[in-house]
Amino acid sequence: MDLLKDTTKQADFRREFVYGRQMSLAAPAAFVATYSDAFETGSSYVFAQELAPCGDLLAAVSPPHRGGLGETRTKRVARQLAGALAFLHARRLVHRDVKPENVMLWDAGCRLVKLGDFGVARRSGTVVCRVCAGTAYTAPEVLRPKIISVLPVAGLQLKKFCLYIMTCHIILHKNSLK
């Protein structure tokens, strides 16, 4: 992962690296491995992550792969993502950026998928003053301009919302979400 210093605070880089490393060690089947080496260059912060042989979920449902994943593969993805999110929630961590681009595939049949990118993850109860750029998977209440607290219950509701929207998107592959 290469993060430009111009757009990334060192504290944000450290948080992403530490959360990614901790989660990948605690549950290697659920999260993209973050390796122990991290360093900085003149212009970037860098750490190494596991390569996903089949890319990300967005690529798997985007053209030329029309028609989404189908029911069987979608169920596999949803089951594994729900497990990864439950694991995070049990450790009072809120991912905050669940989307197809952050779900990595290890095989075309979706027998193994892993969640990655802890760049905006926060501990439950953390007060956040900004929201990431909205995506089609962002819950509407998150887009309201105000200071919000990442609460366990709210985090769980957002996870359910994101999982539902992503599941609909990958099974149906409706471009209207873009």
| Other C-beta atoms lying within 10 Å of the C-beta of residue 64 | 4
Task: Say what the pLDDT of residue 146 is.
Answer: 53
Q: How far apart are CA 64 and CA 54, in angstroms?
A: 15
Q: Residue 51 burial by CB count (10 A; 0-12/13-18/19+): exposed, middle or buried? A: exposed
Task: Give residue 55's region: left, alpha or beta (phi > 0; psi -120 to 50).
Answer: left
Q: What does the pLDDT read at residue 166? A: 67
Please state, as a whole number, how many other Cβ atoms lie within 10 Å of the Cβ of residue 72.
Answer: 10
What is the token pair recorded at 119?
């760049």
pLDDT of res. 135: 60
Assigned token pair, 17 = 């690296």
- Looking at residue 175, its pLDDT comes to 46
- pLDDT tens per residue, the chain (178 residues)? 888 999 999 999 999 999 999 999 999 999 999 999 999 999 999 999 999 999 999 888 887 766 678 889 989 999 999 999 999 999 999 888 888 899 999 999 999 999 999 988 898 888 876 555 556 656 565 566 555 555 544 555 555 666 666 666 666 554 444 4
| Active-site residue flag, 97 | yes
Q: What is the pLDDT of residue 20?
A: 94
For the chain, which residues make up each domain, given as ranges? Answer: 52-177
Q: How far apart are CA 118 and CA 27, in angstroms?
A: 14
What pLDDT is stored for residue 98 in this prediction? Answer: 87
- Tell me which residue of 31, 2, 38 sits closest to 17, measured CA to CA: 38
**Of residues 2, 12, 37, 97, which has the active-site annotation?**
97
Q: Determine if the pTM surpasses 0.85.
A: no
16 contact partners, CB below 8 Å, separation of at least 6: 1, 3, 117, 118, 119, 121
CATH code for the domain defined by 52-177: 1.10.510.10
What pLDDT, on the 0 to 100 scale, is given for residue 178? 44
